[in-house]
Chains A and B, each alone.
Chain A
């Protein structure tokens, strides 16, 4: 078993992980970027549509081109070592990350860790959901946009969030018929411009509708949809039979947080953020000291915010290794925080902001509880993070002038806590 030592390990080379790596490396941090895929860019490599956002950032550019540019920057950066086709298996108290490379199992020993593992797709229960031809939207995108393979001839799309709408558009571009987009909620989930774009191309978008069943002998040969009543029950008599050979599920994502569970970070169930997420402060540090997060694993959002949050995590990790001067740190931190705030200032971000506020409130109470149990050592629960050996002290940091105060604590003053705009529970979103 080979052992690699590095200052910073980043798991996941999607938009968040890459931007974290580039930011950290720009401060001279020796960074190892681990990704299970062959290509760099995560979901970006499938995004053929143009991105929103700031003109001066990446707006108007297609995701696949952003991925290409980011990948080049990573490959040309001498501070970044890339371990692609490599799966992260577990992160242990001594700072060991166990990885499975194409050649076998290796140990990566890092002083800091950034988890940017992204999200996984949700599954929906309905008769026939195990038939070949029932896909997740991510799989459809991978087939079409990475491998150039059409998933079928005619598709029923379940879910009208941005992913459902965008993948419908990409299917049409590939010459595949989209029979309908069904949405269980009373309104379309994604941006209206995406919805209007496919509506103009003749795709009906049916709100308050869902799939009743998919049928077929060897594979999907058709699907039945029906209307939902106020209590989310199908209304008998409203069934429509659609001749499709693909049912594509785009009913939402949930953070891919197993590594964070495994390494002992405090987790909480926050529906607004997509499910179980780690508790993390404004520097993106979790309750497991030295372990940072960014991107969808910290709450389901989109690529622009993932890139900014990734930079924030990379900056924080570099700072905690003593690689960033106070002046540079506060300048960069304000810049990135401003960008995130701008991206989240619209009504479309109300949900995510209320989720973050909830998460920060939980983080605060965890920290207060930890402070109390520290004062009374006898009551200290066995699984308290303080019990675990802190991350290996950074070798480099030791030679740096001591930084007063704990950054993570300083960052915990939550400015977003007031931004709670009536969070609604949306657990019953069956698509």
Chain B
């Protein structure tokens, strides 16, 4: 039984299955879809303008990625009703990666703001900085926040907490 259904945290095996191969990760930003259960939902496929998220045969299909077509645009991050999609750019700098995450809280962070980076269990693992904030499309859209993080944590960081001032 995967830890996904006992704790809500996907297992290492779950994550390995939605992470592209090394050579693709070294080539530029990619989407990773952390959606492991067949549920009736298909907006991710329709949000992709590049055909990277393949068409669903059945509404309950788990999304399938064609990473050769993915540009890392993050439209799917904003579209996913389950807030389960992230874009990771491991080519951001020598030491850092950039991670796009859905964020449905107010106030939205600002560019340059320092944050505490968290893993899939909500545990703080490092410090990061907000690099870009894309407000959600009115009225239903989910804002997307791009945060820089240590490169070694590219597959670990999946959330952030705004640092309290003072």
Contacts and interface: CB of A to CB of B under 8 A. Distances in A.
Interface of A: 49-55, 59-62, 65, 172-173, 186-188, 191-205, 207, 304, 342-343, 345-348
Given A51-B81, A201-B122, A196 B40 contact: no
Given A200-B159, A202-B118, A191 B39 contact: yes
Contacts of B4: 192, 195-196
Interface stretch (B19-27, B41-49, B90-98): B41-49
Given A187-B6, A188-B8, A60 B43 contact: yes
Nearest to A175: B105
A348 B38 CA distance: 8
A202 B7 contact: no
A354 B43 CA distance: 28
Contacts of B84: 193, 196-197
A193 B83 contact: yes
Given A188-B8, A198-B8, A200-B159, 6 more contacts: A50-B142, A59-B81, A192-B10, A196-B9, A201-B159, A202-B118
B126 to A, nearest CB: 15
Top 8 A-B pairs, shortest CB-CB distance = A202-B122, A193-B82, A346-B60, A195-B8, A199-B8, A50-B81, A52-B41, A55-B46
A345 B121 CA distance: 31
Nearest to A198: B8
B120 to A, nearest CB: 6
Contacts, number: 122
A198 B120 CA distance: 9
Nearest to A342: B59
Given A59-B81, A173-B104, A198-B8, A191 B37 contact: yes
A195 B142 CA distance: 18
A228 B58 CA distance: 38
B134 interface: no
A200 B120 contact: yes
Interface of B: 1, 4-10, 34-43, 45-46, 58-60, 79, 81-84, 104-105, 118-123, 139-140, 142, 158-159
Contacts of A207: 6-7
- Counting chain A CB atoms within 10 Å of each CB, the highest count among B1, B8, B41, B45 belongs to B8
A164 B33 CA distance: 24
Contact of B58 (A49, A199, A345): A345
Contacts of A49: 81
B162 to A, nearest CB: 12
A419 to B, nearest CB: 15
A61 B35 CA distance: 19
A14 B10 CA distance: 35
A53 B41 contact: yes
A187 B43 contact: no
Contacts of B140: 50, 60-62, 65
Contacts of A195: 4, 8
A191 B41 CA distance: 12
Contacts of A304: 40
A288 to B, nearest CB: 32
Contacts of A197: 82-84
A343 B36 contact: no
A343 B40 contact: yes
A202 B121 contact: yes
Contacts of A50: 81, 140, 142
Contacts of A201: 122, 159
15 contacts: A52-B41, A55-B42, A59-B42, A65-B139, A172-B105, A188-B5, A192-B5, A192-B37, A196-B9, A199-B8, A200-B121, A207-B6, A304-B40, A347-B37, A348-B38
A345 B58 CA distance: 8
- Counting chain B CB atoms within 10 Å of each CB, the highest count among A55, A62, A348 belongs to A55
Given A51-B81, A345-B58, A199 B122 contact: yes
Contacts of B38: 346-348
Given A192-B37, A193-B39, A200-B158, A54 B59 contact: yes
A25 B1 CA distance: 49
B103 to A, nearest CB: 11
B82 A194 contact: yes
A304 B60 CA distance: 14
Contact of B39 (A52, A61, A204, A205): A52
A345 B40 contact: yes
Given A192-B5, A195-B8, A59 B159 contact: no
Nearest to A52: B41
Nearest to B121: A199
A161 to B, nearest CB: 13
Contact of A52 (B81, B119, B123): B81
A51 B81 CA distance: 6
A72 B42 CA distance: 26
A202 B123 contact: yes
Given A60-B43, A173-B104, A193-B82, A187 B5 contact: yes
Contacts of B40: 52-54, 304, 342-343, 345-346, 348
A186 B1 CA distance: 10
Contact of B6 (A53, A172, A186, A196): A186
Nearest to B83: A197
B70 to A, nearest CB: 19
